[in-house]
């Protein structure tokens, strides 16, 4: 995942060194929500890229940056080579068509006064996807069937008559109708039931296979991320600390934060429970936010391998294995004479 | 009655009035909880698992009501002798041998019962800490309301309870907004532990927490069992969390228990087709990536449960019998109960063993 080397025109979506800082005016201390994050989606083949991070890691802010909802403080986001914050009205319209969001809360995305049909009719009209009412109707039904909903069950109903899982799938039906090139899904599973989770993830996989739609999937749940496969980026306090191929990172996590994260995932097998107690940290972790961009590693306070250099210098990405990069000095030849090998499978 | 039984729920029915009819949210639950175990309660949303624990706490409010059923609670004197509490209330000590029915208990003794014997960590409770009161004041409030401790003793107990979840005494002097989500949740668990109850009920305590924080909270709950020698009823829809924490697991579907077993044996050999589907859809981290199939079909309508077995419209093995007769919860092996017409015939070898654990559809 060498973003720097790939040619710009071969990239569909390309975010470079994006930072978003909130506050900072007057006496308010600035909060660095997104700190120098880069990401790219190639134009050639559809991919699934998952961004994993705990709450407060800046995932949602970065999503908003990508969707054009919050302008980043610095850095550029290009779509097809054009800066999305400097697009003409028509370019912007096609961007909005080709990059579609699925939001976290299916209870907050619908207008309760309108029937479900409207959610699907609006894009048909707006993007002129159907030439006649009959064709529009057919397309709507096809889209609903693609997400495993029976058109008769949902058309003509109001949002409050549908469950959370049905609402999220209608968002996917809308996406099926629009056929975007990228879906940006921000925690789409957090409000839907476990039994429907698989169905939703399978739809995302089918969209990639059959429709060629790429997906940027944002989650805090590593297990669902693993199910989708593809590539992964781990975020911690606004920064990306490890990125690369999903299977490599899950089986051989290199950054101490990623190791901690993967070790905390419940095993789902009662015979393979956590062997030891991590011991609860009795440090008072206060709910205050990170305020400095900082020239130090952000994980120093909890890192078991912390070194002097970690407090004074910001680690840059080091190639740990052919498909994995880690922002950790443990793997940096200039800092550690004999860099650590990627740790064995955990 | 087995003297190891702490809680015995029989034929519990909790209904809710509405203009459309009665919502039979909990409709005939039978469940026993043993002393000093962690019992898990799992099921999809709307299956009635939270309502069951609210009924145990007698917190059902109109339009809900307990239509019928018994919740027998058998507190023990011995468990408390190792702790620091001795039952002081005359009413309760009178009932120790033959148990108390929580459904019919009067309001006064019920108040005595709460926190001292049974405590409760409600869903999303970490967000219900009072924002303008220090943690210490909120903790001592609970202790003073439910026991005869003096203010100083109450403060001492609050400090000890915080130590049990590895929080330092400074937390007493802090306000909720100064704590992270995980620390708030651990504080709530500490409040539930202050009076050394014999039963602690936790309703979705780790939902919406990050994995690192979730692990800390789960370790706190393991501490309830180990340090207080208490029993925990743990409600969660997350089967991976159950695998990590609980001793026995009860799976609910449509207001009923469909299967109960020790967690090890249940995960190895789920018998009910719903349990099989549920367990096969746990996302696993690592290993081969296999495309899983979701539990198909719509969740049943709570106003009109399906006839016979409530799972039959979604069940791949449904027979005519399933549409007409409701299967009772029967014990098919020692400690393994299941409510399905396939059993015990499958066990006896009359029908081949069902196994839809893995759907071979490689991604």
Tell me the three-class secondary structure of A159-194, residue by residue: HHHCCHHHHHHHHHHHHHHHCCCEEEEECCCCCCCH
- The domain that holds A156 is classified in CATH as 3.40.50.300
Q: Is the residue at A191 inside a domain?
A: yes
| B106, B229 Cβ separation under 8 angstroms | no
The answer on B132 and B41 residing in a single domain is yes
* CA dihedral (B77, B82, B83, B84) positive or negative: positive
Q: Is the residue at A279 inside a domain?
A: no
pLDDT digits (tens, 9 = 90+) for B122-158: 888 888 899 999 999 999 999 998 888 899 999 999 9
| Residue spans of chain A under pLDDT 70 | 1-9, 26-28, 191, 194-195, 278-294, 338-346
Dihedrals phi, psi of A325, to nearest 5 degrees: -125, 145
A172, two tokens = 């996917």
Q: Is the residue at B258 inside a domain?
A: no
By the CB < 8 Å criterion, does B295 face chain A? yes
The answer on B338 and B197 residing in a single domain is no
Q: Strand A74-79 and strand A11-22: pairing?
A: antiparallel
Q: Is the residue at A241 inside a domain?
A: yes
The answer on B202 and B98 residing in a single domain is yes
User: How far apart are alpha carbons B118 and B131 in whole angstroms?
Assistant: 25
- Terminal C-alpha separation, chain A: 23
Domain count, chain A: 1
Conformational region of residue A59, where left means phi above 0, alpha means psi within -120 to 50, and beta covers everything else: alpha
By the CB < 8 Å criterion, does B215 face chain A? yes
Per-residue pLDDT band at B95 (split at 50, 70, 90): low
Q: Is the residue at A274 inside a domain?
A: no
Q: Which residues of A touch B241 (CB under 8 A)?
A: 266
Residues 51-80, chain A, touching B (beta carbon < 8 A): 54-55
Query: Which site among B234, B276, B294 would you substitute to test the A interface, given the most A Cβ atoms closer than 10 Å to its Cβ?
Result: B294
The answer on B169 and B305 residing in a single domain is no
Q: Range of B301's domain?
A: 288-348
pTM for the whole structure: 0.84
Q: Which helix (H) or strand (E) holds A65?
A: helix A59-67
pLDDT digits (tens, 9 = 90+) for B18-32: 888 888 999 999 999
Domain end (from B208, B233, B252): B252
Which DSSP state fits A277?
-
* B47 min Cα distance to partner chain A (Å): 11
What's the pLDDT at B85? 45
* A3 min Cα distance to partner chain B (Å): 26
Residue A68: CB atoms within 10 Å: 16
Q: Range of A243's domain?
A: 8-268+287-331
pLDDT digits (tens, 9 = 90+) for B254-295: 999 999 999 999 998 899 989 988 888 787 888 788 787 766
Q: How many percent of chain B have pLDDT more than 70?
A: 88
- Nearest residue on chain B to A272, judged by CA atoms? B244
- Alpha-carbon Rg for chain B, nearest whole angstrom, is 21
By the CB < 8 Å criterion, does B205 face chain A? no
Q: Do A267 and B244 touch (CB under 8 A)?
A: yes
Q: Is the residue at A337 inside a domain?
A: no
Q: What is the ipTM of this complex?
A: 0.77
What's the pLDDT at B41? 95
Q: Which residues of B touch A163 (CB under 8 A)?
A: 299
Q: Is the residue at B273 inside a domain?
A: no
What's the pLDDT at A152? 83
Residue with tokens 């206060």: A286
User: How far apart are alpha carbons B170 and B134 in whole angstroms?
Assistant: 11
Per-residue pLDDT band at B323 (split at 50, 70, 90): very high
- Nearest residue on chain B to A54, judged by CA atoms? B210
Q: Is the residue at B261 inside a domain?
A: no
By the CB < 8 Å criterion, does B284 face chain A? yes
Q: Is the residue at B272 inside a domain?
A: no
* A62 min Cα distance to partner chain B (Å): 18
CA A152 centroid distance within chain = 33
The answer on B238 and B111 residing in a single domain is yes
Q: Is the residue at A275 inside a domain?
A: no
- The domain that holds B58 is classified in CATH as 3.40.50.300
Q: Is the residue at B270 inside a domain?
A: no
Q: Is the residue at A282 inside a domain?
A: no
User: How far apart are alpha carbons B268 and B298 in whole angstroms?
Assistant: 27
The answer on B138 and B199 residing in a single domain is yes
The answer on B315 and B207 residing in a single domain is no
What's the pLDDT at B347? 67
The answer on B35 and B144 residing in a single domain is yes
By the CB < 8 Å criterion, does B213 face chain A? yes
Q: Is the residue at A336 inside a domain?
A: no
Residues 305-344, chain B, touching A (beta carbon < 8 A): none
Q: Is the residue at B97 inside a domain?
A: yes
The answer on B145 and B222 residing in a single domain is yes
Q: How many percent of chain B have pLDDT more than 90?
A: 44
Domain end (from B189, B224, B252): B252
The answer on B336 and B247 residing in a single domain is no
Does the pLDDT at position B90 exceed 80? no
Domain count, chain B: 2
């Amino acid at each position: 995942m060498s973003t720097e080397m790939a040619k710009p025109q071969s990239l569909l979506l390309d975010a470079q060194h994006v930072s978003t800082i909130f506050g900072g005016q007057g006496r308010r201390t600035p909060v660095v929500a997104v700190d120098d994050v880069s990401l790219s989606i190639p134009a050639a083949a559809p991919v699934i890229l998952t961004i994993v991070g705990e709450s407060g890691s800046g995932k949602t802010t970065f999503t908003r940056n990508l969707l054009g909802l919050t302008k980043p403080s610095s850095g550029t986001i290009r779509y097809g080579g054009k800066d999305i914050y400097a697009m003409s009205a028509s370019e912007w319209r096609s961007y909005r068509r080709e990059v579609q969001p699925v939001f976290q809360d299916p209870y907050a995305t619908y207008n309760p006064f309108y029937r479900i049909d409207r959610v699907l009719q609006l894009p048909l009209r707006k993007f002129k996807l159907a030439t006649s009412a009959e064709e529009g109707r057919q397309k709507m039904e096809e889209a609903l069937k693609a997400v495993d909903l029976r058109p008769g069950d949902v058309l003509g109903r109001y949002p409050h008559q549908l469950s959370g899982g049905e609402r999220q799938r209608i968002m996917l039906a809308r996406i099926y109708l629009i056929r975007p090139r990228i879906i940006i899904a921000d925690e789409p599973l957090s409000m839907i039931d476990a039994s429907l989770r698989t169905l939703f993830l399978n739809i995302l996989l089918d969209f990639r296979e059959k429709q060629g739609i790429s997906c940027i999937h944002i989650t805090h749940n590593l297990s669902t991320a693993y199910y989708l496969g593809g590539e992964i980026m781990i975020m911690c306090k606004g920064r990306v600390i490890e990125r690369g191929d999903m299977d490599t990172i899950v089986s051989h996590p290199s950054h101490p934060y990623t190791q901690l994260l993967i070790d905390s995932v419940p095993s789902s097998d009662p015979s393979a429970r956590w062997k030891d107690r991590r011991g609860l940290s009795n440090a008072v972790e206060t709910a205050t936010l990170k305020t400095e961009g900082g020239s130090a590693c952000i994980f120093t306070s909890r890192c078991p391998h912390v070194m002097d250099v970690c407090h004074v210098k910001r680690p840059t990405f080091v190639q740990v294995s052919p498909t994995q990069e880690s922002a950790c000095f443990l793997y940096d030849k200039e800092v550690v004479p004999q860099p650590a090998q990627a740790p064995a499978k955990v | 009655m087995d003297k190891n039984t702490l809680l015995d729920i029989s034929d519990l029915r909790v209904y809710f009035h509405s203009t459309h009819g009665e919502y039979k949210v909990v409709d005939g639950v039978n469940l026993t909880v043993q002393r000093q175990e962690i019992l898990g309660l799992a099921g999809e949303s709307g299956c009635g698992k939270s309502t069951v624990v609210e009924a145990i706490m007698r917190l059902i409010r109109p339009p809900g009501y307990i239509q019928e059923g018994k919740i027998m609670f058998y507190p023990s004197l011995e468990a408390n002798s190792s702790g620091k509490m001795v039952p002081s209330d005359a009413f309760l000590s009178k009932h120790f041998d033959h148990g108390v029915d929580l459904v019919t208990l009067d309001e006064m003794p019920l108040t005595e019962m709460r926190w001292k014997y049974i405590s409760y960590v409600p869903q999303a409770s970490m967000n219900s800490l009072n924002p303008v009161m220090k943690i210490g004041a909120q903790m001592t409030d609970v202790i003073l309301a439910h026991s005869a401790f003096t203010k100083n003793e109450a403060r001492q107990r609050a400090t000890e309870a915080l130590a049990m979840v590895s929080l330092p005494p400074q937390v007493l002097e802090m306000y909720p907004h100064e704590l992270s989500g995980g620390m708030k949740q651990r504080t709530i668990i500490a409040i539930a532990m202050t009076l050394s109850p014999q039963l602690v009920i936790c309703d979705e305590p780790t939902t919406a927490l990050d994995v690192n924080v979730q692990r800390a909270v789960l370790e706190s709950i393991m501490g309830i069992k180990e340090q207080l020698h208490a029993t925990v009823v743990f409600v969660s829809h997350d089967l991976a969390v159950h695998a990590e924490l609980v001793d026995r697991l009860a799976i609910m579907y449509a207001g009923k228990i469909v299967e109960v077993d020790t967690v090890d044996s249940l995960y190895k050999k789920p018998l009910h087709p719903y349990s099989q589907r549920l367990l096969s859809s746990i996302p696993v981290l690592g290993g081969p990536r296999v495309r899983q199939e979701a539990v198909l079909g719509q969740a049943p309508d709570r106003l009109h449960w399906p006839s016979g077995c409530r799972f039959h419209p979604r069940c791949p093995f449904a027979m005519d019998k399933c549409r007409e007769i409701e299967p009772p919860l029967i014990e098919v092996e020692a400690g393994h109960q299941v409510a399905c017409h396939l059993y015990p015939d499958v066990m006896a070898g009359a029908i081949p063993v069902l196994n839809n654990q893995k759907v071979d559809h490689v991604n």
